[in-house]
Structure 1
Amino acid sequence: MNAMSQALKGYAEHATSTKSGRRSEYEVVAKVTKQLRDSAVEAKTNFAAFASALHMNQRLWTALVVDVADEANPLPDELKARIMYLADFTRHHTTRVLRENASVLPLLEINMAVLRGLKAEGGEK
């Protein structure tokens, strides 16, 4: 199992939070993921929209890192580290996607894994 798989599995297995907080997180991640997925389909004809969606995804991951870096965050340290790793991966991979040297699919897969983790813990009804 590679590091990304472990991080994704860890998020799904260990994430804990309040139900209302989870629902809000789920909705934000779902919205950003949908925007990224939809814009990727038309990236060749509307690169500006695609770049904007990549930027929004990057902002999402920056916000997640800020949240897990807070000492008051109740998530286990191992999960915090995995989220930080994924944020770092996302930042680097986004640069590669923007240069048109990489596929957007890994970014979508990461976000979908986060959504599954949030849903498993009661994030969506």
Structure 2
Amino acid sequence: MTITAYQAARSRVEMPRAAEHRLLSQITGEMMDAETAGLTGAHLAAPLHRNREMWSVFVTDCGTPGNGLPAELRASIISLGLWVQRFTSDVIAGREPIGELISLNRTMMEGLAVQRLAA
């Protein structure tokens, strides 16, 4: 079975929260690897770009009519996503460490893991 076929099959059976957790885990792992390697500034561009894209999708999804999450939770996710956008610029400029973004993603992963266990 090719990797493309495997990914297509997984996408049909994977629950949304599991997919979000997996994506957060992959991107957070990339940022952790970059932090461990001592990368700073523009050298962090690839993992930071992926993280920004992911959070942009979260923000867009939470702002979409018909989103099933409670309004307060959607508002919190949108607020966090906007913070990620601003803070990422500070990380690239060398004014802030990448660790804060890693910490936020790990907290989100913990929340998703608890939701999956409760479901």
TM-score range for the pair, normalised by the shorter chain length: 0.7 to 0.9
Deviations 1:72-118 (Å, cap 9, x if unpaired)?
11001101110011011111110000000111111111100100000
Change (3 A) 1:46 1:86: closer
Contact map agreement 2:35 2:98 (CA 8 A) in 1: yes
- Structure 2, unmatched stretches of 5+, are 1-13
Change (3 A) 1:54 1:43: farther
Match of 2:3 in 1: none
Q: Secondary structure at the match of 2:94?
A: coil
Is it true that 1:23 corresponds to 2:14 in the alignment? no
Relative contact order, CA 8 A, sep 6+: which one is greater? Answer: 1
Match of 2:74 in 1: 80
Contact map agreement 2:59 2:81 (CA 8 A) in 1: yes
Q: Give the counterpart letter for 2:31 in structure 1.
A: L
Look at both structures and tell me which one has the larger radius of gyration over its CA atoms: 2
Is it true that 1:33 corresponds to 2:33 in the alignment? no
Match of 2:92 in 1: 98
C-alpha distance in 2, partners of 1:46/1:80? 31
Match of 1:64 in 2: 58
| Off by >6 Å, runs of 4+ in structure 1 | none
C-alpha distance in 2, partners of 1:42/1:83? 29
C-alpha distance in 2, partners of 1:87/1:45? 22
Q: Say how many residue pairs are matched.
A: 104
- Structure 1, unmatched stretches of 5+, are 1-18
C-alpha distance in 1, partners of 2:41/2:99? 18
Change (3 A) 1:87 1:46: closer
